Amino acid sequence: MLKKITITGGLDKDGHPERVQRLDIGAGEVVGVVGPTGSGKTQLISDIEQYADGETLTGRSILIDGQTLQQSVEVRNLRHLVAQVSQNMNFVIDMTIEEFLIMHTQVRSIGSPRQIIREVLSMCNELSGEPVSLTDNLTRLSGGQSRALMVADVAMISQAPIVLIDEIENAGIDRLQALEILKGKGKVVLLVSHDPTLILMARQRVVMKNGGMDKLYQTTATEQKILADLLRVEKYLSRLRDHLRNGNTIDPKDGKEEWCYGQNTGTLSVKHQ
């Protein structure tokens, strides 16, 4: 199992050494990657995926447990170093969830797939809130269900030690839970995002500028407080969504819950009576 990856020695678009000259990410850690469009986020990810060894545009080297591609036989034999989950991805194969998961476990030479497939399914349903069953067809899944299944599959079946999560802003899945699951499986997680909740979920984040890694921040105590607020807002929104979607109105007289806006804190909350 991979212990850490290191990104080192890169240049920005003008050929100057980038300000963050070394970034270590350990197994089970999440690093956010932020910056405007064109700042170099995609190139950074591309360097990692290609296992760059000083030859890409940025001149960066990627080390896995301190070794380059040339030195590490183990990693060279890995078919996939980086697993990706992004908003643009869809299942295109016309098969049931069960048939497909069996196929994927066979590819990974997993002997008794039944147990793992059950775990993937329950993880998926925990993440998406709209349950799916093994006999559902992959191409019929909603966006949220697809993303949830992708995360569960990456966590349980895929061998790739590094996971890249690219802009799953509002994919209708429990993102905090998804990150916890991936961390728990010892994956190195990189999170490219413009969404404040997701950005703050990463304990550290790297800021991209002009093609280079410009700054490296740890989340501050205040940011963590704000994150807690944001998560409350998300919970509120998701309950509100379910409430309305299930055909209910919002009138304190009909229901047990009172939906209100917290005037003092400036946040939204749900009060239980």
If residue 111 lies in a helix (H) or strand (E), which one and from where to where? none
For residue 143, the SS3 value is helix
Nearest distance from C-beta of residue 183 to other proteins, angstroms? 17
Nearest to 250 by CA among 259, 263, 238: 259
> Based on CB atoms, which residue is closest to other proteins, 136 or 229?
136
Say which residue the tokens 């998701």 belong to: 238
Nearest distance from C-beta of residue 112 to other proteins, angstroms? 19
**Interface map 23-42 toward other proteins (x if CB under 8 A):** -------------------x
Q: Which residues have C-beta within 8 Å of that of residue 137, sequence separation ≥ 6?
A: 94, 95, 96, 97
From 108, 203, 232, 239, residue interacting with other proteins (rule: CB under 8 A): 108
> Based on CB atoms, which residue is closest to other proteins, 7 or 230?
7
Say which residue the tokens 């229901």 belong to: 255
Subset of 52-81 contacting other proteins (CB under 8 A): 52, 55-56, 79-80
* Residue 267: CA count within 13 A, CB half-sphere: 16
Measured CA to CA, the distance from residue 238 to residue 148 in angstroms comes to 16
Subset of 83-102 contacting other proteins (CB under 8 A): 83-86, 88-93, 100-101
Q: Which residues bind other proteins (CB under 8 A)?
A: 42, 46, 49-50, 52, 55-56, 79-80, 83-86, 88-93, 100-101, 103-104, 107-108, 146, 149-150, 153-154, 157-158, 160
